[in-house]
Amino acid sequence: MHSSVIYGDVFTRHDMEAHPESGSRLRAALSGVPENMRWRPPVRGTERDLERVHRPQYVRWVQEIARGTCFLDANTYVTCHSFEAALYATGSTFAAVERALDGEHLFALVRPPGHHAEPDRAMGFCIFNNAAVAAAKALLSVDRVAILDWDLHHGNGTQKAFYGSDRVLFCSVHEENSFPKTGWVDEIGTGAGRGYTLNAPLAAGSTIADYRYVFDEVFVPALVRFRPDVLIVSAGQDALSDDEHGRMNLEPEDYGVLAGMLIDGTDLALALTLEGGYGPSLGKAIAAIFSALSGKRFVPAEKPLNRGTERVADLLKKVRFC
């Protein structure tokens, strides 16, 4: 499969210099894009796209308040450029979905991130939910969408958007008891969506051994059973060992391991959208992902499983699609 990247300077204009989620973070991610990669321009989403996930009143409120610099909550800011950047982030994520449906891997290097944003609120640096908005739009033309979130933090907003749906399989691996204190193993969906949410909260200090175990034993088999038309990856690289926002121990090449496992296990093109990642080795992790998209496979060093990983996987194996 071919692979490409979406990027535009519009994503650096949503910026607050002293904030962890600033334009400089995106520049660090860009350092990992290979020289020969095909670059695609960003695509602007619409307010109608947003309203498939977010309440119209919330969309209008953000548009009105983002005329200057202020905070939407304790840690999520906007500037006069943020609403436009957020529209391009959602539109570019859906463009990645379209390319993936055509058999091409595409990584949307966008800001602001999205997976914490709920239908009626901003949270955790996220204004609108890029992955959820793209999935909702994709469901207008396909039957099933899978979203896999490997960010350090649980994608509470994405989960909430589809918690009652049997058309979206949401899989999240994250540090247990971390922000926003959601994503426990017993959160499996409700109503028609019961069984279509799989959360793997891993203990602090977990390594690629734990992530591989969850992917091998739970996530990849679930994806194969679900048979999605497209797979969206909420690609946050903040589980790196040098990222001060978490206590996990992944190395840059480990993200290439995870991407390769998804490609080989599902035979699907990946639509990736950037979420978190704030450490010095972020660019190296991005480079490893692109290497996996281009066909390289990484063999990680053997490491012991952390406490509780097998138990989490065993509990998730008992979850069945209804």
| Residues 316 and 200 sit within 8 Å (Cβ to Cβ) | yes
**Nearest CA among 107, 47, 137, 69 for reference residue 277:** 107
Give the model's pLDDT for residue 301: 85
Give the model's pLDDT for residue 294: 97
CATH placement of domain 3-317: 3.40.800.20
Q: Which residue has the tokens 């480990």?
A: 254
Q: Is the pLDDT of residue 126 over 80?
A: yes
Q: Are strands 70-71 and 77-78 parallel, antiparallel or unpaired?
A: antiparallel
- pLDDT mean across residues, the chain: 97
Q: Which amino acid is at 100?
A: A
Instruction: State the Cα torsion 8-10-15-21 to the nearest 10°.
Output: -40
Give the SS3 label for residue 273: strand
Q: Are strands 105-108 and 270-274 parallel, antiparallel or unpaired?
A: parallel
Q: What is the mean pLDDT of residues 185-206?
A: 98
**Nearest CA among 213, 190, 192, 210 for reference residue 202:** 210
| Residues 183 and 268 sit within 8 Å (Cβ to Cβ) | no
Positive or negative CA dihedral for 23, 27, 29, 34?
positive
Give the model's pLDDT for residue 3: 97
Q: Is the pLDDT of residue 274 over 70?
A: yes
Domain ranges of the chain: 3-317
The secondary element (H helix, E strand) that includes residue 222 is helix 220-226
Can you tell me the distance from the alpha carbon of 85 to that of 202, in angstroms, rounded to the nearest whole number? 33
Q: Is the pLDDT of residue 309 over 90?
A: yes
The active-site residue, picked from 116, 153, 154, 174, is 116
Can you tell me the distance from the alpha carbon of 219 to that of 234, in angstroms, rounded to the nearest whole number? 14
153 catalytically annotated: no
Burial of 23 (0-12, 13-18, 19+ CB in 10 A): middle
Positive or negative CA dihedral for 110, 111, 116, 117?
negative
Q: Is the pLDDT of residue 262 over 90?
A: yes
